[in-house]
Amino acid sequence: MANPNMSAVYATDEYGRPFIIVREQQKKNRRSGIDAIKSHILAAKTVANIIKTSLGPRGLDKILISPDGDITVTNDGATILTQMEVEHQIAKLLVQLSKSQDDEIGDGTTGVVVLAGALLEQCENLLDRGIHPIRISDGFERACKVAVEHLETISDVVEFAKENTENLFKTAMTSLGSKIVSKHHEQFAKIAVDAVLSVADLERKDVDFELIKVDGKVGGSLIDTILVQGVIVDKDMSHPQMPREVRDAKIAILTCPFEPPKPKTKHKLDITSVEEYKKLQNYEREKFEEMIKRVKDTGANLVICQWGFDDEANHLLMQNNLPAVRWVGGPEIELIAIATNGRIVPRFEDLRPEKLGAAGLVREISFGTTKDRMLVIEECSNSRAVTVFIRGSNKMIVDEAKRATHDALCVVRNLVRDNRVVYGGGAAEISCSLAVSKAADQISSIEQHAIRAFAYALDAIPMALAENSGLSPIETLADIKSRQVTENNSRLGIDCTMTGSNDMKEQFVYDPLISKRQQYLLATQLVKMILKIDDVIIAGASEQ
């Protein structure tokens, strides 16, 4: 039987022999209207189902293999979606959704995609019942407004200060509970809280993430992770005979190289005799000595340079007891300047004593039996700049610990910005689902079906948490839901850790309000957008 999507064209070659070209006519039969919307929903649901198993403290990890063979092991939603090779246009929108949540909030990237997938699943059922996509969109928007308003009514304010960080600490621990560092999550939570409070301006409710550097080195174990009140640079002293430690350092921070000046035009230098060569050598040496003298005259006893310098300059620096570090990257240079209250100097002529940075101790640290060394700048005059230095047994663990630390830092930052929290473990979703269902009962228009569907979609989060924890999802959800209604307690959620208590306040499972609110808003916006797409037209593709 002939395929209706195929067409045949008769042609002849250069010798006049006939042959047939069979070509698919898929372009003519492309889907549009409701069929297109359903195919888009299917693509998005497929992506959401992939990462649903990564949700919660008992969520499973994914192993991602890049085209080069590099391996990443993670359960971070944004990382999984970013590294997946997603071809479908609608599936790419889900990738962007998780990235939006990551950029704006930093945590909750898996939850927002699971919620979007659940909403789209409900859309499919509504479309099958003949409800128009625009009416579904309107209903979802009304339901989202009800859910967000209800979140604010069930939220609690957590009090904290620089002396009392217990609530911040517990919220950071909740974020880290589902990560690879969960075995040491108390240590990592304390590091995240201390790092954020070191750089936070509590009066303005502002946290400058530029002052927090997260660095890592393979070797040791996660328990060796430390918070350094200063900067760590992956460089060592430029000469092996230079001192490994400098106390009361006065640091010259240079972005100019230790080399003789060159004309800015194209130049050519012909050396035809030994005398001319020696003359050039003496000239270079004089220039190096002049540069070193300028540095020494300011009182500097350590040079940090963005560029390199040759062996002769390096030897002269060592002879003049002037330790130096070369090839330090631009971001590190800026961080060192902030931490030490120094100024970045672009020319030797601009060096002044007041432009030097100050640090109590600059030292090299080495690692085990390797030759790797790093430079630690501590006791800086501006102690607000900090570095989280992560250790791990392999690169995958170090990278995943970095991502986990970033999430914990973001959660603490969000609480500094807005100290209201809702309770995790699906408690907030179940409470909002009940509130949205109640609102649907008071609406007589066709949108009530979409509003009720939104309530069912919210139930997908606690169901996924229960399923990932090895519990019976439907039975557990029904039990918690009935208890929330009878006990009038919005703090009841899924007991993922099997401690015997469903009260998330007792378990200290907190979620920042702004994170949860953003999840609802972003997921609803994306679903509304997908519902309004009834055709995909590829630019430049010719119709056959």
Between strands 18-24 and 6-12, the pairing is antiparallel
Cα 216 to Cα 234: distance, rounded to the nearest angstrom: 10
CB 407 within 8 A of CB 171: no
Residue 110 falls in the annotated catalytic set: yes
Residue 407 falls in the annotated catalytic set: yes
Residue 149 carries which DSSP code? H
3-state secondary structure at position 96: helix
CB 304 within 8 A of CB 253: yes
Cα torsion at 370, 372, 378, 384 (round to 10°)? -120
CB 30 within 8 A of CB 47: no
Place of tokens 């919220």: 171
| List 53, 72, 79, 110, catalytic entry | 110
The 8 Å CB, 24+ separation contacts for 494-498 are 494/56, 494/425, 494/426, 494/462, 494/465, 494/466, 494/469, 495/425, 495/469, 496/56, 496/57, 496/58, 496/425, 496/465, 496/466, 496/468, 496/469, 497/57, 497/177, 498/469
Place of tokens 């050396």: 271
| List 102, 236, 407, 459, catalytic entry | 407
| List 53, 61, 76, 476, catalytic entry | 76
Residue 234 falls in the annotated catalytic set: no
Cα 416 to Cα 54: distance, rounded to the nearest angstrom: 27
| List 74, 79, 109, 165, catalytic entry | 109
Residue 387 falls in the annotated catalytic set: no
What is the H or E stretch that residue 374 is in?
Answer: strand 373-380
Cα 72 to Cα 78: distance, rounded to the nearest angstrom: 13
Active site residues: 76, 109-110, 407
